[in-house]
């Protein structure tokens, strides 16, 4: 049966069926989201929305900002964990932190995060001698941490409160509960599978050694902490009345985030918002929309601006250092040698 499954996957890859199916799914999700947004927001009072934004307490915005900062701090451990997994213990935390923060914040906003985030990572990690295959492995392991964390949060959250998922997918509560148990069983099975003996995925130079059982539990923990901080930021910004529990908001938030991720739209724009509006239908739309706008500023726009500034500053220093070295050697610097980058081998005192 496994051979048949591999043959089917190979056939679909050769015919580009998977790519075409992915495009269809993305377009469908975006189309449905736009339709929902149009019908839910067509009667929005802009004046009420602006007034709600002005009346938002500074304390709430500051607290949400701190949760967002904590979430991005946790994100830096995605790359650190992946770097240590592929055996590169020589790369310091400051380098993986810079790569993780800038790649995720830019990927979130530009879209196609696999490519945009990968390009940013390659620019930073190549100075440490990592090649494109190494960076691809880091992206894979970081993505695995993300999905394991999402599976754990969704499985536990929906099992505890299946009504939260039902508000989005409109399925019976018992179906959502079965779905949650299936996620948890699959997650448990995966942990047992990697715990039994070393597991590899891929072939040749693309082969990746999966983290073992204890490290996989650490992966799941990192993902849960990251998502918890992000959900707390959203929970801080949603209306206080009617009261909705944190677990409910967290399940709806993670579900909306995954739908936005599946759509490949920049920042899940439109898709994430539609899912949140549908899931938290009992809240005042103007107040909820104001909270989501503030969340976008804190989680997407502000980190994006900071990342662009960091990368620009980094490239300016790299260029200046390269020119100084070129001048000191009489313009005979080896063109194939990449100048050291901030936080890399040539900048140990940064």
pLDDT in tens, 316-348: 887 777 778 777 776 554 444 444 444 455 444
pLDDT at 227: 92
Q: Is residue 240 part of a domain?
A: yes
Q: Is residue 235 part of a domain?
A: yes
pLDDT at 50: 78
The residues near 334 (Cβ < 8 Å, ≥ 6 apart) are none
Q: Is residue 30 part of a domain?
A: no
**Regions of the chain with pLDDT less than 50:** 1-3, 5-6, 9, 11-12, 18, 333-343, 346-350
pLDDT at 2: 38
Q: Is residue 309 part of a domain?
A: no
Q: Is residue 136 part of a domain?
A: yes
Burial of 42 (0-12, 13-18, 19+ CB in 10 A): exposed
Q: Is residue 156 part of a domain?
A: yes
Residue 201 phi, psi (nearest 5): -125, 150
Count: domains in the chain:
1
Q: Is residue 157 part of a domain?
A: yes
Domain limits at 66?
Answer: 45-299
Q: Is residue 126 part of a domain?
A: yes
pTM for the predicted model, two decimal places = 0.80
């Amino acid at each position: 049966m496994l051979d048949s499954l591999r043959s089917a996957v190979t056939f679909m890859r050769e015919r580009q069926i998977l790519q075409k199916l992915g495009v269809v799914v993305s377009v469908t999700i975006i189309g449905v989201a736009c339709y929902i947004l149009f019908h839910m927001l067509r009667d929005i009072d802009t004046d009420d929305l602006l007034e709600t934004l002005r009346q938002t307490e500074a304390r709430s915005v500051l607290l949400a900002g701190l949760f967002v900062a904590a979430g991005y701090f946790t994100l830096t451990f995605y790359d650190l964990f992946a770097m240590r997994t592929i055996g590169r213990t020589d790369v310091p935390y400051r380098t993986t932190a810079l790569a993780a923060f800038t790649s995720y914040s830019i990927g979130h906003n530009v879209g196609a995060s696999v490519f945009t985030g990968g390009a940013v990572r390659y620019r930073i990690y190549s100075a440490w001698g990592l090649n494109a295959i190494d960076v691809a492995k880091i992206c894979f392991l970081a993505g695995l941490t993300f999905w394991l964390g999402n599976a754990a949060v969704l499985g536990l959250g929906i099992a505890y409160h299946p009504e939260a998922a039902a508000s989005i997918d409109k399925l019976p509560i018992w179906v959502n509960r079965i779905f949650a148990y299936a996620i948890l069983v699959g997650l448990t099975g995966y942990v047992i599978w990697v715990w039994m003996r070393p597991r590899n995925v891929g072939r040749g130079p693309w082969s990746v050694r999966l983290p073992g059982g204890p490290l996989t539990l650490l992966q799941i923990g990192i993902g849960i902490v990251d998502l918890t901080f992000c959900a707390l930021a959203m929970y801080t910004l949603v209306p206080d009345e009617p009261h909705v529990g944190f677990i409910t908001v967290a399940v709806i938030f993670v579900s909306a985030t995954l739908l936005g991720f599946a759509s490949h739209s920049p920042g899940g724009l439109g898709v994430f918002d539609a899912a949140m509006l549908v899931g938290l239908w009992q809240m005042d739309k103007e107040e909820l929309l104001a909270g989501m706008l503030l969340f976008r500023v804190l989680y997407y726009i502000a980190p994006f601006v900071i990342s662009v500034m960091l990368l620009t500053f980094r490239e300016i220093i790299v260029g200046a250092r390269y020119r100084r070295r070129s001048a000191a050697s009489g313009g005979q610097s080896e063109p194939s040698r990449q100048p050291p980058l901030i936080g890399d081998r040539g900048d140990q005192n940064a």
